[in-house]
A and B are shown apart, each in its own frame.
With several copies, the nearest count.
Chain A
């Protein structure tokens, strides 16, 4: 019988090696798999390369991994947490900055067996021309993200982006059944199904486990074929979910635009 429910999360998650690539769902605290991220941290996993849209605004979840020095590299579109940038500029973590839609599409492509694709997003910018600093040393850019191949289609430049296949994926769902079928709730869905698709080993924490005949087959957001392990977390949705912490403007230079003007 297929039964993907697990009691012993640590036992199963311990299969993740140090240095692993990890795809993580969530958009800030919304749909962030905190129980799985905490377990990864508790297990002492380190040198991780995370693919996640943002670090978040606190030291939970990805922020905790960052604070405890577990990250080797972050691939993200909008890290937010100021302490992440301190680590980046100090040369303690690498940073691959990608457009948000490109990150989502790369996860889906990797999960879908699409090796690479051409997107117009980021063409002609420093995110594709090899200018962006992957790492810092002694306060200066040390290595750069590789320039991306560019090619015209229909008269417009497109950049070649690779699919992401991660060693492990961490997903936060709403409901799940023993076959690993998952539903998400509202905008907590976001990157979660895509992270789940691209993991070689996919863990899902859910708020509710349900019998195998409860979810309508027409309404499964992430089919069980993508899912290896399902755990139930009693942890409530974080109270900070809707607290926005913005990057403070530098008071020394009034020509610098406010965070509001930037997006």
Chain B
């Protein structure tokens, strides 16, 4: 129970900042990937994608080939992302209706979806849509995790009270069971393999012990060299 929140919960550790987490994720995107980005840290990822890696960004409202904000005064009210923010289009973009947009998602045609999370369990369960007592809304989250082969989570390793978000079992309502394939936090990178978490990388300056102290979920380690 050492990692359960108590009066003696350790102070939140200092690892990567949000941009650094986004940059870390961006390094793993391969040329040619089609990717859907959730709000939060994931939206910062495109800024860090190398020039020689071409990624197609997908938005639930039917855009394949999202570009950046078109610049003040050039907004097109008929062209937004799923967060309803103005966007531009990359060359070779395609617009589809919502049924086709989710055919892309559910049919497994995206390569990766990068999402935020409230909690990720040891088995790769994800909770990221609803905090009981608040206003329920789901959007495309359940479709994304049900359909996408690779579900990468970007999140703070612990919440603002220092409570671990990598947990034994999710206490928040699930978005999907056993759907997460990777977790990127300010402290570490985990892969989900054979239904269990594997610590594969610690952030610079963060020790495996620090990671363990702030993680409730069980996991194995396979750190490089």
Query: Is A bound to B?
Result: yes
Binding site for B on A (CB under 8 A): 1-2, 27-31, 53, 57, 77-80, 82, 85, 95, 97-105, 107-108, 110-114, 119-127, 131-132, 174, 177-179, 181, 184-194, 197, 212-213, 215, 217-218, 220-221, 223-226, 237-239, 241-242, 244, 247, 250, 254-263
B208 touches A (CB below 8 Å): no
Please tell me which one of the listed residues B40, B89, B138 contacts residue A261 in the complex, with CB atoms under 8 A apart: B40
Interface residues of B in 69-113 (CB under 8 A from A): 75-86, 89, 91-110
Residues of A close to B58: CB separation below 8 A: 225
13 contacting pairs across A/B (C-beta < 8 A): A27-B80, A79-B137, A112-B99, A120-B106, A120-B147, A127-B142, A179-B92, A187-B61, A190-B62, A192-B97, A220-B95, A224-B64, A224-B94
Instruction: Give every chain A residue within 8 A of B180 (Cβ-Cβ).
Output: none
B63 within 8 A of A: yes
Q: Which residue of A97, A174, A193, A223 has the most chain B CB atoms within 10 A of its CB atom?
A: A223
A107–B103 Cα gap in the complex (Å)?
Answer: 12
**Max chain B Cβ within 10 angstroms of own Cβ: one of A82, A122, A132, A259:** A122
Is the beta-carbon distance between A80 and B137 smaller than 8 angstroms? yes
* CA of A237 to CA of B78, assembled, Å: 8
Partner of B60, one of A100, A127, A217, A250: A100
Whether, in the assembled complex, B164 has its beta carbon less than 8 Å from a beta carbon of chain A, the answer is no
Tell me the bound Cα distance from A86 to B40 in angstroms: 26
**Chain A residues, CB < 8 A from B218:** none
How big is the B interface, by class? 35 or more
Q: A187-B63, A189-B97, A261-B117 are in contact. Are A225 and B105 (CB under 8 A)?
A: no
Tell me if B54 counts as interface (CB < 8 A to partner A).
Answer: yes
Q: Which of A77, A107, A181, A258 touches B137 (beta carbons < 8 Å)?
A: A77
Contact, CB under 8 Å: B160 / A255: yes
Shortest Cβ distance from residue B113 to the other chain A in the assembled complex, whole angstroms:
10
Q: Which one of A188, A190, A263 lies within 8 Å of B39 (CB-CB)?
A: A263
User: Distance in Å from the Cβ of B56 to the closest Cβ of chain A?
Assistant: 7
Say if the beta carbon of B26 comes within 8 Å of chain A.
no
- Report Cα–Cα, A167/B89, bound state, in Å: 32
Contact: A241 with B80, CB < 8 Å? yes
**Which residue of A82, A107, A217 contacts B95 across the interface (Cβ within 8 Å)?**
A217
B13 interface hit (Cβ, 8 Å): no
- The answer on a CB contact under 8 Å between A225 and B102 is no
Give Cα distance in the complex from A184 to B109, angstroms. 21
Determine the chain B residues whose CB is within 8 A of the CB of A102 once the complex forms.
142-143
A100 to B36, CA, bound (A): 14
A124-B174, A190-B62, A242-B85 given; A105·B102 CB < 8 A: yes
| B97 contact set on A, CB distance < 8 A | 104, 184, 189-194, 221
| CB atoms of B92 and A181 under 8 A apart | yes
Given A79-B137, A187-B63, A104 and B92 contact (CB-CB distance below 8 Å) = no
Contact of B143 among A85, A107, A121, A189 (CB under 8 A): A121
With a cutoff of 8 Å between Cβ atoms, the chain A residues found around residue B80 in the complex are 27-28, 30, 187, 241-242
* Residue in A82, A97, A225, A263 whose CB lies within 8 Å of B64: A225
Q: Assuming the A-B contacts A97-B136, A125-B174, are A186 and B76 also in contact, with contact meaning beta carbons closer than 8 angstroms in the complex?
A: yes
Identify which of B89, B108, B147 contacts A217 (C-beta below 8 A).
Answer: B89
Closest partner residue, chain A, to B93 (CB atom): A217
By Cβ-Cβ distance, the 7 closest A-B pairs, closest first, are A101-B102, A113-B106, A112-B103, A101-B143, A241-B77, A179-B92, A260-B40
CB-based nearest B residue for A31: B78
Min Cβ gap B86→A in Å is: 5
Q: Is B124 an interface residue (CB 8 A)?
A: no
